[in-house]
A and B are shown apart, each in its own frame.
Chain A
């Protein structure tokens, strides 16, 4: 793996020593591009299945798919636990991130051929749950690898590149599935086989081309922390960030509810409904990299907050009586996509800056789990509000909640003025809690690396 290290490492020592405020753009590290490729390929595979699953259940197996939604709560709970466990496990020693991520990708890949064998709703539900477990397992270690592979000052852009590649895969997947079904009418088994092969390819790219140790050489000596989750919980930075992610997550209405509201409020034709997620994904894809770069300059936590203002704007469009112009849904989806572009990778980048490399996986897992759990709670609450008050009032309540959460988060995320962080006088508040903090000689270490 030495060759891979030498291929991917240059970005780090090059840049770690220079002032983070300098604006020169380094190339995106090869490891980030490789992980992006793995995600792209894996998303093609999983979205192929997602796209044909309803049709497969109804048209091919003659099953009623209504039972699936009932299990979502259990799946989400399990997924949250697995995510924490995945993050924690991955912080154990060298190569832990890659090993846990590979296990997660591998588990999901194994589920694809299993779909060929499962012919009943409970079995298919179990396979999908295993697939999701794999996704939960791999997310935190993968993001940890991304954060460790790149220059801390360019993390936002690196995550943006990764998220853009990921979203591209999600957009390509349904097209591939469509082409397979076009070539072979009713060929769901072919779709699952192609999906399985694609997923296997993703795992292989990960195993072959992602270095086992993505961290910069300076982290080599970092000893494995015995209780990483507790170590994470002791850090005020990450506590505040998690609190904000949870607060804002509690007022983030789920995609499906947002699309449903959009369709009802703006009286969209039924045929447009399946296309709404494409609008969000398209905007996400286009904006992920530029907004990631903006986050690096402007401040990740600040952009994370601004992203939620975009979401607030989308809520506003859907609650205001603006009539039925076709521009409205486009604008709402563009705002929704920019919300994702300004928050998804950016939160990971901000969280990575708030925990040291030795507990990076655990730290990312804590923040992301908190956010996911909060969003799930929001789904339940929003559903109840929708039933009790109707879609408009429910969304107005969510908008009010989001405004309050954003205001509280803005207070929580103010750049801290503690004496410890005075050594970092950078323009962006994120850089104050990069690796420099891990040892008193942070800057010296970085200079050593540069040699």
Chain B
């Protein structure tokens, strides 16, 4: 084959491959534009004021298509399928308690995207923001609204590419002191101090402003830890617990449990752990759950499952009875006021 023919083949290939690449990008762009338009039958969403201290509201990230997609919205907790009021504040992850909101959002830069954690007051105005080192995954506010925590995924370096870890930070809103990385706390396992470089901490849930629970992973296992911000300690209290969520009365933990016999890509089921008896109760939800559940009240869990709009919210009783029910389509990261 002579040089001219080879250049010709290359030219044709560049045109064909370039065409395929362009078509794929345009197709994806068209799909993205479509998501900015509301469809008939979607939940109704209107711009309005969202407050975090009005009682009886459910506040969440709206996933319904249209101009308010990804904004923090609210509905009456008693009428979850009713019309939504959208705030104009866009968040990937959100949580609220005690009139404080934490919003983990994307910041679109010139050459790359970044992320930041924004602390919001009850009217969703920014109090402070903190740059994040990775992709947001979990966010929580303490019941009083005076302490917040978040977890991001960090990928180590771009050469190997597949090495991920988590980084969890806790912020005290009274003093604005930030514990950047809970891995710096002293971790004890079976009553002995434990140090390992593969330690990862994620999924904080607050008991009060100084005490919390979280997941610590090390050596291929996960542990429920009880954390103390004053002592800067993490103490393992139970194994095989991920993304804990403490009940309002502080006696039970709803969590993701890795169950035996489940497939590798769907390993988790929603369980409730009684902290006093250490008894584990499976909920009636039998599907794989990858979310940090929220307690709507003392007896009901709310959690996200993949849906047509990316994510829907479901409920199930915490005592193992009943059956899962869809409570809100096209929503993620709920919080319940007062």
Contacts and interface: CB of A to CB of B under 8 A. Distances in A.
* Binding between chains A and B: yes
Interface of A: 1, 3-4, 7, 47, 50-51, 53-55, 58-59, 62-66, 68-72, 75, 120-123, 125, 128, 170, 174-175, 178, 180-187, 189-190, 193-194, 197-198, 200-201, 204-205, 208-209, 254-256, 259-260, 269-271, 273-274, 276-277, 383-384, 386-388
Interface of B: 1-3, 6, 9-10, 13-14, 17-18, 20-21, 24-29, 31-32, 35, 92, 108, 111-114, 131-135, 137, 153-167, 180, 195-200, 217, 220, 264-266, 290, 306, 311
A187 B131 contact: no
A122 B265 contact: yes
Contact of A66 (B2, B112, B164): B164
Contacts of A174: 112, 158
B177 to A, nearest CB: 15
A270 B181 CA distance: 11
18 contacts: A3-B2, A4-B3, A58-B135, A58-B137, A59-B92, A65-B155, A69-B163, A178-B111, A187-B25, A193-B21, A197-B21, A208-B9, A208-B10, A254-B160, A256-B157, A270-B133, A270-B180, A386-B197
Max count, chain B CB within 10 A of own CB: residue among A54, A121, A205, A277: A54
Contacts of B160: 72, 254-256
Contact of B195 (A75, A120, A255, A388): A388
A189 B28 contact: yes
A275 to B, nearest CB: 9
Nearest to A118: B265
Contacts of B159: 170, 255, 277
Given A190-B24, A197-B18, A209 B6 contact: yes
Given A69-B165, A387-B197, A274 B25 contact: no
Contacts of A128: 161-162
Contacts of B198: 69, 383
Q: Is the interface of A mostly helix, strand, loop or mixed?
A: helix
Contact of B131 (A1, A259, A269): A269
Contact of B29 (A55, A75, A123, A184): A184
Which 6 A-B residue pairings sit nearest by Cβ, starting from the closest? A187-B28, A120-B265, A256-B156, A184-B28, A270-B133, A193-B24
Contacts of A204: 9-10, 13
Contacts of B1: 1
Contacts of A182: 108
Given A174-B112, A197-B20, A387-B196, 8 more contacts: A66-B164, A69-B163, A190-B21, A190-B28, A198-B21, A204-B10, A256-B156, A260-B156
B158 A47 contact: yes
A286 B93 CA distance: 40
Nearest to B108: A182
A271 B114 contact: yes
Contact of B25 (A1, A180, A256, A271): A180
Nearest to B9: A208
Contacts of B162: 53, 68-69, 71-72, 75, 125, 128
Contact of B17 (A65, A68, A181, A201): A201
A253 to B, nearest CB: 12
Contact of B157 (A1, A193, A255): A255
Contacts of A170: 158-159
B157 A183 contact: no
A79 to B, nearest CB: 11
B195 A387 contact: yes
A65 B164 contact: yes
B157 A190 contact: no
Given A64-B290, A69-B163, A190-B27, A58 B20 contact: no
A193 B31 contact: no
Contacts of A70: 220
Contacts of A271: 114, 131-133
Contacts of B26: 184
B21 A54 contact: no
Contacts of B153: 54, 58, 65-66
B70 to A, nearest CB: 10
A273 B133 contact: yes
Contacts of B156: 255-256, 259-260
